[in-house]
A and B are shown apart, each in its own frame.
Chain A
Amino acid sequence: MIGVNHYLILSGLLFSIGFMGVLRRKNLLMLFFATEVMLNAVNIAFAAIGSYYGDLSGQMFAFFIIAVAASEVAVGLGLLILLYKKYGSLDLEVISSMKG
């Protein structure tokens, strides 16, 4: 029987994978993917906990996140294209311009 704990463990694993991607990846596009993975890990947790409590607001919130993520991807990808046109690369080492 698959219980809420299984979902939460899956969600935690996915979140960790995404988190590691954010920390380790150097390519901006890959960073985007990693954040998407993290967002969806959270969605799984929302849906699972909403079903566990019999409360629809968890799943509702997951939809909201999907909507926000979609628009974010639209804007983000547009910016990425511009960056690529400017630098010819999406490597963080290359496009960094601030020096502390």
Chain B
Amino acid sequence: MENLVYVALFAPFVGSLFAGLFFARSPKTHLVGVVNSTLIGLAFIASVILALHVAEQGSVHVTMMTWIDIGDLNIPFGFKVDEVSVTMMLVVTLVSTIVHIYSTGYMDHDRAYNRFFAYLSAFVFSMMILVMSDNFAGLFIGWEGVGVCSWLLIGFWYHKADRPFEENPSISPSWAANEAFIMNRVADLGMLVGIFLIYWNIGSLQYDVVFESLKNLDSGTLVAIAIALFIGAMGKSAQFPLHTWLTDAMEGPTPVSALIHAATMVTAGVFLVIRANPLYSLDAVHGVSMFIASLGAFVAFYAASMALSARDIKRIVALSTLSQLGYMFAAAGLGAYWIALFHLAAHAFFKALLFLGAGNVMHAMDDELDIFKMGGMKKVMFGSYVYMFIASFALAGLPFMAGFYSKDAIIESAFNDGSYIIWFILVVTAGMTAFYSFRQVFFIFHGEERYKALGFHPHDMYKYVLVAMSPLAILAITFGWFMDDYHEFITRLLPDYEMSHHTHHLAPYLGGLVIVLAVTGIIIAYKKYAGRGEKAWKRDEEFEQSFLYKLVSNQYYVPHFYDQYIVQPYKIASAKFWELDKAVVDGFVDFIGKGAYKTGDISRGMQNGNLSSYLNWMGVGAMILVLIAVISSVIG
């Protein structure tokens, strides 16, 4: 089993090195795409075997080597494959495999094809370290690794120039990459502080040791650790107020958005909270957990409301990702860790599918993102239409789809907890989710064929790409059916979440309410956006001028606010500090250099070629030496 762990972990790394070392400068070759996809597929197969092994015989724990061993500090490179990490491994490797295959088609015309695969595989490797590590230090390595890969991949088309875009003053892939990286850096500081606190108070970073010793700590320290770790999670999972990077990260290539900014990396924060569940389920940190749940519910609603008016196809999906991350945090905060993890997995499947479908649309429309310019594309892109329809069905949480089971469970647990405000927000958000996801589908695939007037000639993606996407579609439909089996599997490690009898009794009605809201949302969207001819959608200029619409479509002016009150003052401060730097630091260095230069310039007058004056200078020097000798003998 140990070898399989290494295969799962290092196969993506080998792929990354293969593409990065041997093909970085060579022209596009399909060999790279095929080899890298195969290696990720290999990691997936290893993960499947490991999952079966974990299900039958329990977790696998390997220590590869000692990494840091100084004094009392001992951090090994250890990897633990248990119920939680194997779930993440399966999700990551499965989605990655499909995204890799998808990328061979999507990036077909890109000149940096090989480089793309080097980065993408490196990302998978970092993510595997993140989920498999058996200590916080390894987790942090993976955490930073995915951050770097995310930066590289958002800024993949770094040569694109800045352009004004909706609510942002100016946006380009490199700008978005920097924004994502810097915002994550802010949050990572919190994470690092949390890790330091753990080390100072416990003296180890191994999960099992740490969770074992938590009961010996006083509640103040526990709260501090919980808050610090959650700040890290907020950055990676783009929770308010560190959420703006996620929508801007859509500047990257679509497969990247699907893999990193929807299915895997952004769920790392949720994973961290689930991993640290012995900490977050303590009574002492109940306040922090409640805060996590409340923030999750708030973000769920907040992001969904922005998605209602968004026009950019990728931003709609990104905002729905934000919203679903909010659901996961709500569940994790309420103590329903296994439900959060279940929703995480289900979400990864249908969101990746949705994103890849959106990528197909973009590809067909020559990278046009505005859904106002699309419509009636059902005929030309039937395959993508079916996929996006399935994914939106799952996202909306309609019966028997993956999203139905997991989202319903989250809403139920909010009700069960007695947090009726959170419950209410989540229910309303579920209705909004159905509306905006079907708004997008109807805008793109139904209604008038607006793209024709604009001169687009859409065509569907390669056949093999559509076939490769099918596992995601199947899972988006069927994943929820295995909820009971998964429950049994995962609760061996994670605490079970018992619904009270009262809730259990009410569950069908609660589920029914959510379904009614979702269906209502879909019907409204259908009426409004799917009509043709007479009933076709028309722009409502008046409504677009209203305060509410403007507020929502400008993302509540949060990016504006950041630009105005953080970025601009920072720029001014930087300019001032640059002045100061030039005056003090540079000034001092220049003074030394110029001083030597000036001294030479002045004293070179001595070298006048006259032996007599040389002798005079020599005499003066000798006198001075004698004088110094006399003075020093008198003094000392």
- Whether a CB of chain B sits under 8 angstroms from the CB of A100 is yes
Contact of A99 among B606, B609, B611, B612 (CB under 8 A): B609
A99 CB to closest chain B CB, in angstroms?
Answer: 5
Q: B618's closest neighbor in chain A, by CB? A: A22
**Contact between A98 and B612, CB atoms less than 8 A apart:** no
Contact of A96 among B605, B610, B616, B619 (CB under 8 A): B610
A92 to B610, CA, bound (A): 7
For chain B residues 600-623, which have a beta carbon within 8 Å of chain A? 604-612, 615-616, 619
B626 CB to closest chain A CB, in angstroms?
Answer: 11
Interface of B is mostly: helix
**Contact between B604 and A100, CB atoms less than 8 A apart:** yes
Residues on B with beta carbons closer than 8 Å to the beta carbon of A97: 609
Residues on A with beta carbons closer than 8 Å to the beta carbon of B615: 22-23, 31
Residues on B with beta carbons closer than 8 Å to the beta carbon of A96: 608-611
**Contact between A92 and B608, CB atoms less than 8 A apart:** no
Contact of A93 among B604, B610, B616, B619 (CB under 8 A): B610
A65 CB to closest chain B CB, in angstroms?
Answer: 18
**Contact between A23 and B610, CB atoms less than 8 A apart:** no
For chain A residues 53-100, which have a beta carbon within 8 Å of chain B? 92-93, 95-100
B54 CB to closest chain A CB, in angstroms?
Answer: 85
Residues on B with beta carbons closer than 8 Å to the beta carbon of A23: 612, 615-616, 619
Q: A95's closest neighbor in chain B, by CB? A: B611
- Whether a CB of chain B sits under 8 angstroms from the CB of A19 is yes
A35 CB to closest chain B CB, in angstroms?
Answer: 10
Interface string of A1-42 (1 = CB under 8 A from B): 000000000000000000100110110100100000000000
A19 to B623, CA, bound (A): 11
A89 CB to closest chain B CB, in angstroms?
Answer: 13
**Contact between B605 and A100, CB atoms less than 8 A apart:** yes
Residues on B with beta carbons closer than 8 Å to the beta carbon of A19: 619
Q: B607's closest neighbor in chain A, by CB? A: A100
A35 to B604, CA, bound (A): 27
B627 CB to closest chain A CB, in angstroms?
Answer: 14
Q: A28's closest neighbor in chain B, by CB? A: B611
Residues on A with beta carbons closer than 8 Å to the beta carbon of B612: 23, 25-26, 92-93
Question: Count of B residues near A, CB < 8 Å?
Answer: 12
Q: B610's closest neighbor in chain A, by CB? A: A96
A25 to B612, CA, bound (A): 8
A29 CB to closest chain B CB, in angstroms?
Answer: 13
B374 CB to closest chain A CB, in angstroms?
Answer: 81
**Contact between B619 and A98, CB atoms less than 8 A apart:** no
A23 to B620, CA, bound (A): 10
A96 to B619, CA, bound (A): 19
Residues on A with beta carbons closer than 8 Å to the beta carbon of B606: 100
Residues on B with beta carbons closer than 8 Å to the beta carbon of A98: 607, 609
**Contact between A92 and B611, CB atoms less than 8 A apart:** yes
A69 to B606, CA, bound (A): 29
Interface string of B431-453 (1 = CB under 8 A from A): 00000000000000000000000
A50 CB to closest chain B CB, in angstroms?
Answer: 22
A28 to B610, CA, bound (A): 12
A95 to B612, CA, bound (A): 11
For chain B residues 580-618, which have a beta carbon within 8 Å of chain A? 604-612, 615-616
For chain B residues 182-237, which have a beta carbon within 8 Å of chain A? none
A82 to B545, CA, bound (A): 103
B617 CB to closest chain A CB, in angstroms?
Answer: 10
Residues on B with beta carbons closer than 8 Å to the beta carbon of A22: 615, 619
Residues on B with beta carbons closer than 8 Å to the beta carbon of A100: 604-609
A25 CB to closest chain B CB, in angstroms?
Answer: 8
A23 to B614, CA, bound (A): 9
B279 CB to closest chain A CB, in angstroms?
Answer: 77
A90 to B256, CA, bound (A): 88
B440 CB to closest chain A CB, in angstroms?
Answer: 82
Q: B619's closest neighbor in chain A, by CB? A: A23
Residues on B with beta carbons closer than 8 Å to the beta carbon of A99: 607-609
Q: A97's closest neighbor in chain B, by CB? A: B609
A58 to B101, CA, bound (A): 99
B604 CB to closest chain A CB, in angstroms?
Answer: 5
Residues on B with beta carbons closer than 8 Å to the beta carbon of A28: 611
A83 to B604, CA, bound (A): 27
Most chain A CB inside 10 Å of its own CB: which residue of B604, B608, B609 = B609
Q: A100's closest neighbor in chain B, by CB? A: B607
A95 to B614, CA, bound (A): 14
A15 CB to closest chain B CB, in angstroms?
Answer: 11
The residues of B with any CB-CB pair to A shorter than 8 Å are 604-612, 615-616, 619
Task: List 4 tightest A-B contacts by C-beta distance, closest first.
Answer: A100-B607, A98-B609, A96-B609, A99-B609
Given A92-B611, A93-B612, 8 other A-B contacts at CB below 8 A?
A22-B615, A22-B619, A23-B612, A23-B615, A23-B616, A99-B608, A100-B604, A100-B605
A selection of 21 A-B contacts at a CB cut-off of 8 Å is A19-B619, A22-B615, A22-B619, A23-B612, A23-B615, A25-B612, A92-B611, A93-B610, A93-B612, A95-B611, A96-B608, A96-B609, A96-B610, A99-B607, A99-B608, A99-B609, A100-B604, A100-B605, A100-B607, A100-B608, A100-B609
